[in-house]
């Protein structure tokens, strides 16, 4: 019996010591960094006794090349605190300004325990002068403010990216930022993730007041306005995106029912991204939709014949009088599937004759086994092509770190296998390149062979508008094609459109002269009807003379008959001509 008492007593003593230690841990030791999440218990206890309206969470912003916001906007907003139901206040005067009946305002306040925030979504449309009038009334608990709100229709979601809460990742990435709440939003994808360290909030701007356990004012009806006085933060990331063009591009893809694929539009002179759209649309509940396919390697099909053509020109295999038997398939066999007769290199490019390019590839490989990948590099195709360089303590900062590198050969032994060479020559086998890389190749050709890094961000700006950092344009390292080769390629790409039987003849009626190359790549997949699925491309630039834009459109995993690639390219050219007055 005595032994049992000792055992039970010891158990209770241990339990008591554990509880006491736990209380000490909570109240004395880890009051400001409780659990792995780093919960600030002092702050949380204060939060339980306050009600607040966050006007601005303090995270940095994104804007387009013209200074238009891409993610948030400052919206005129009416804020009503619930203690108004306990006091007498001139509700009729407020009703007259906001054009909402006094009875409705009273009813809204009566039915809420939290601060009430009313904006245009709630039918309360206010102007800047309305806000002045509201605040001039000096009613306790009534405020007219500009509140940062998400733009109703987000654009460039794959490019800009998304944010979310993850306390463990936050503490791991920023161990020195103990001032950050475990609820702080951090970048998960896109530019939000890339520039996350710059975008982290310094402090929130908010309205708050203290309440008791029943939600009644604890220290009277005084509402505090807490604002960040730092003139430098939050910062703004100024992108190269043109908001109007980005919206137009997204609309065109939707109108043409391209639900799997996307496009990249570059300014040829600066090599900056004006628009980038990836499909399917981003859905937070589906991780597969988070991928930006415009920076992922895809089978290019006949678009890759541009590389073989460039190599042929550089190695002197572009005899204008030489003809190729385009009744033969890519392996030089007469299987009855082709009926194009004898064609020159130029017309073979326009009509996309496979046999011409497999023949040239075989001849080129005899001269130099590395010729295909070397030429692809000269054209700025393989990547990475997005801006990278030194910025502050980053030695190799990448604007698009999710960009993957393209590939030509899956196995070096394939360089000695004719059938592998033939399939590679037409952009199949193991050839995969990114749409961004293809757009950069087209811009390189249009510029006469000068290859540059692709920019998506121009500047990092302080809150007061001064410059923190500028991303200057940079050339891509390595060899490049000659100006002679570029000029010959320009003629080939123009012939694709002007030839009566060219694969791009649809663009003969475009409002701007188009030069480009089509591509159809087998993916090895089938749909539920057993039909083969393809990647359908059209890549080019316009106007053909004094080119301004390089555009790549790709639809992935589509049947050839259903592809909307050419229709999207045509509409983009048409609408850009209209927007820019031709």
3-state secondary structure 62-92: EECCCCCECCEEEEEEEEECHHHHHCCCCHH
3-state secondary structure of 396: strand
Mean pLDDT by 10 residues, the chain (582 residues): 74 72 56 52 48 83 94 87 86 93 91 86 89 92 86 86 90 86 89 95 80 56 70 91 97 96 98 98 91 98 98 96 96 90 98 98 97 98 95 93 96 96 98 98 98 97 93 95 98 98 96 97 92 96 97 94 92 94 66
In angstroms, the CA 403 to CA 401 distance is: 5
CB-CB contact of 504 with 516 (8 Å): yes
The length of the chain in residues reads 582
- Give the active site residues: 302
CATH number of 73-150: 3.90.1310.10
For residue 497, the tally of other CB atoms under 10 A from its CB is: 23
User: Per the omega criterion (within 30 degrees of 0), is the bond before 89 cis?
Assistant: no
What is the distance between the terminal CA atoms of the chain, rounded to a whole angstrom? 100
In angstroms, the CA 157 to CA 146 distance is: 24
Name the pairing type of β-strands 388-391 and 394-398.
antiparallel
CB-CB contact of 367 with 361 (8 Å): no
Q: What are phi and psi of 479, to 5 degrees?
A: -70, 160
In angstroms, the CA 158 to CA 280 distance is: 10
Taking every pair of C-alpha atoms in the chain, what is the biggest distance, in angstroms?
Answer: 112
The token pair at 4 is 């049992």
Q: Where are the domains of the chain?
A: 52-71+151-205+225-238, 73-150, 243-579
CB-CB contact of 574 with 510 (8 Å): yes
CB-CB contact of 516 with 494 (8 Å): no
User: What is the structure's pLDDT at 149?
Assistant: 77
In angstroms, the CA 410 to CA 402 distance is: 21
Superfamily of domain 243-579: DD-peptidase/beta-lactamase superfamily (3.40.710.10)
User: In terms of Cα–Cα distance, which of 365, 298, 307, 328 is closest to 523?
Assistant: 298
User: In terms of Cα–Cα distance, which of 312, 453, 306, 300 is closest to 376?
Assistant: 306
In angstroms, the CA 69 to CA 243 distance is: 8
* Same fold for the pair 52-71+151-205+225-238 and 73-150: yes
Can you name the CATH fold of 52-71+151-205+225-238? Penicillin-binding protein 2a (Domain 2) (3.90.1310)
3-state secondary structure of 11: helix
User: What is the structure's pLDDT at 41?
Assistant: 42
**454 DSSP assignment:** B
Name the pairing type of β-strands 61-63 and 236-239.
parallel
CB-CB contact of 93 with 130 (8 Å): no
CA 383-387-391 angle, 5° bins:
135
In angstroms, the CA 563 to CA 537 distance is: 9
Phi-psi region of 384 (alpha: psi -120 to 50; beta: other; left: phi over 0): beta
298-to-124, 181, 408, 429, 552 alpha-carbon distances in Å: 48, 41, 11, 11, 13
Q: What are phi and psi of 388, to 5 degrees?
A: -145, 150
In angstroms, the CA 459 to CA 469 distance is: 6
The token pair at 125 is 């449309």
């Amino acid at each position: 019996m005595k032994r049992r008492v000792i055992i039970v007593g010891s158990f209770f003593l241990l339990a008591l010591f554990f509880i006491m230690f736990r209380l000490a841990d909570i109240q004395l030791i880890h009051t400001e960094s409780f659990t792995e999440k780093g919960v600030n218990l002092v702050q949380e206890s204060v939060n339980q006794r306050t009600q607040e309206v966050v006007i601005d969470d303090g995270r940095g912003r994104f804007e387009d090349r013209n200074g238009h916001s891409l993610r948030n906007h400052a919206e005129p907003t009416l804020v009503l605190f619930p203690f108004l139901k306990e006091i007498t206040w001139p509700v009729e005067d407020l009703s007259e300004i906001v054009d909402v009946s006094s009875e409705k305002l009273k009813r809204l306040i009566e039915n809420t325990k939290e601060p009430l925030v009313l904006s245009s979504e709630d039918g309360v449309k206010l102007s800047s002068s309305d806000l002045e009038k509201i605040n001039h009334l000096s009613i306790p608990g009534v405020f007219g403010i500009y509140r940062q709100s998400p733009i109703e229709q987000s654009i460039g979601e794959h490019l800009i990216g998304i944010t979310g809460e993850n306390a463990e990742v936050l503490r791991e990435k920023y161990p020195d930022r103990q001032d950050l709440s475990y609820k702080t939003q951090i970048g998960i994808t896109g530019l939000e993730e890339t520039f996350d360290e710059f975008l982290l909030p310094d402090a929130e701007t908010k309205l708050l007041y203290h309440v008791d356990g029943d939600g009644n004012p604890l220290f009277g009806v005084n509402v505090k306005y807490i604002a960040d006085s730092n003139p430098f933060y939050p910062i703004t990331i100024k992108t190269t995106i043109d908001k109007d063009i980005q919206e137009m591009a997204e609309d065109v893809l939707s109108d043409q029912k391209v639900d799997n694929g996307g496009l990249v539009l570059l300014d040829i002179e600066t090599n900056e991204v004006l628009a980038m759209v990836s499909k399917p649309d981003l859905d937070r509940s589906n991780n597969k939709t988070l991928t930006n396919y415009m920076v992922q390697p895809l089978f290019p099909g006949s678009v890759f014949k541009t590389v073989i053509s460039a190599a042929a020109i550089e190695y002197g295999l572009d005899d204008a009088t030489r003809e190729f038997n385009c009744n033969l398939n890519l392996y030089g066999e007469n299987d009855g599937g082709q009926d194009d007769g004898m064609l020159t290199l130029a017309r073979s490019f326009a009509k996309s004759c496979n046999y011409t390019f497999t023949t040239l590839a075989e001849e080129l490989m005899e001269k130099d086994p590395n010729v295909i990948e070397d030429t692809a590099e000269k054209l700025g195709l393989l990547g990475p092509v997005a801006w990278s360089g030194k910025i502050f303590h980053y030695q190799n900062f990448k604007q698009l770190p999710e960009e993957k590198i393209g590939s030509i050969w899956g196995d070096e032994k394939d360089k000695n296998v004719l059938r592998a060479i033939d399939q590679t020559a037409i952009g199949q086998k193991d050839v995969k390149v990114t749409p961004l890389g293809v757009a950069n190749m087209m811009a390189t050709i249009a510029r006469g062979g000068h290859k540059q890094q692709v920019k998506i961000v121009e500047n990092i700006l302080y809150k007061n508008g001064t410059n923190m950092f500028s991303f200057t344009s940079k050339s891509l390292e390595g060899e490049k094609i000659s100006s002679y080769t570029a000029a010959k390629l320009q003629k080939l790409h123009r012939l694709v459109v002007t030839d009566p039987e060219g694969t791009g003849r649809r663009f003969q009626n475009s409002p701007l002269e188009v030069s480009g190359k089509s591509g159809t790549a087998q993916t090895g997949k089938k749909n539920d009807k057993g039909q083969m699925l393809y990647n359908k491309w059209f890549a080019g630039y316009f106007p053909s003379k004094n080119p301004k834009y390089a555009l790549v459109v790709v639809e992935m995993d589509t049947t050839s008959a259903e592809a909307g690639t050419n229709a999207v390219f045509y509409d983009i050219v048409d609408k850009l001509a209209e927007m820019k007055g031709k």
